[in-house]
Structure 1
Amino acid sequence: MDETHGERAREVAAELNELTIGMVRHLLSDRQSMSLTTVAALSRLEQEGPLRLTVLAAAEGIAQPSMTALVQRLEAQDLASRVGHPEDGRVRLVAITDAGRALLAERRRAQSVRVADLLATLPEQDVRALGEAVHTALPLVRRMLRAGESTRPVSGGSAS
């Protein structure tokens, strides 16, 4: 990476960081007593399917005892459950429940309303410009995130 490219990459990184922090702070200011870690764990279970608790803890970057406590709280709220492994009945996996999926869907809907309310404060021209920028940026960010995930060490999936 040449010096100009590296400098521009650092500038874009700082701008993406500012954007992310600003949006996350706004969206979490009314998080309905659910931590970001809880939402992240439920979202991962929704996207990836049932996982071993150890894999879920590693993927979310938290200690196994902390994830155990979190999963126990999710089970008590009927947002997650433990299920048998399809190939090894001795292994228990953590899965999201229908109630967990419904909760995530409602949170996403409420967050979309909050962002729409923010967008309503801008002139139509700015909303169009932001829409075009997001339409261009989102596929690039998704590709960047996938590339970043593929370079992280893998600690195993739901298989034994």
Structure 2
Amino acid sequence: MSLTSAATLATLDRTGPRRITHLAAVEGVTQPAMTALVRVMEESGLVERRGDAADKRVTLVCLTEAGASYVRTRRRAGVQAFERLIGELADDEVEALVAALPALKHLEELESREREGTQR
């Protein structure tokens, strides 16, 4: 799976159903490229298109259970890889990581606010 496909699935998992134009903007690709990507992921059973109850003219891309399962599996694999690697660090290096956690959490919050700003 391409990085853009995986990132798009993760975006849908985090934010819920989105328009193709929004997904294209978030992932930094053209709308036609995102349309093609969504078509491939739809054929693979990872996403589906649904009408928006609030606006009948809008079609939203939604994660399927298979898509959500894929995202969970990737996240678990990433966590396990980090756990293994952190286990190889010296104690002072682990302490440095722990000390950096508040700043990393703040970065995540800033990124989330920025992402929300692009959705409007």
Given the two structures, how large is their TM-score scaled by the length of structure 2? 0.82
Paired residue secondary structure (1:111): helix
Query: Does residue 1:140 correspond to 2:107, yes or no?
Result: no
Q: Relative to 1, partners in 2 of residues 1:130 and 1:85: Cα closer, same or farther, differing over 3 Å?
A: farther
Cross-structure match for 1:93: 60
- Structure 2 counterparts to residues 1-160 of structure 1, below 5 A: 34-120=1-87, 122=88, 126=90, 128-148=91-111, 150=113, 154-157=117-120
Structure 1 residue ranges without an equivalent (≥5):
1-33
Match for 2:49: what amino acid? R
Residues in 1 aligned to 2:107 and 2:86: alpha-carbon distance in whole angstroms: 26
Name the larger-Rg structure: 1
Residues in 2 aligned to 1:144 and 1:119: alpha-carbon distance in whole angstroms: 21
Structure 2 residue ranges without an equivalent (≥5):
none
- Return the structure number with greater strand share: 2
Given the two structures, how large is their TM-score scaled by the length of structure 1? 0.64
Structure 2 contact 46–67 (Cα < 8 Å) conserved: yes
Over the aligned positions, Cα root-mean-square deviation in angstroms equals 2.4
Q: Relative to 1, partners in 2 of residues 1:145 and 1:76: Cα closer, same or farther, differing over 3 Å?
A: same
Structure 2 contact 86–94 (Cα < 8 Å) conserved: no
Aligned residues: 120
**CA displacement at 1:39 relative to structure 2:** 1.0
Match for 2:77: what amino acid? A
Match for 2:18: what amino acid? L
- Determine what percentage of the aligned residue pairs are the same residue: 38
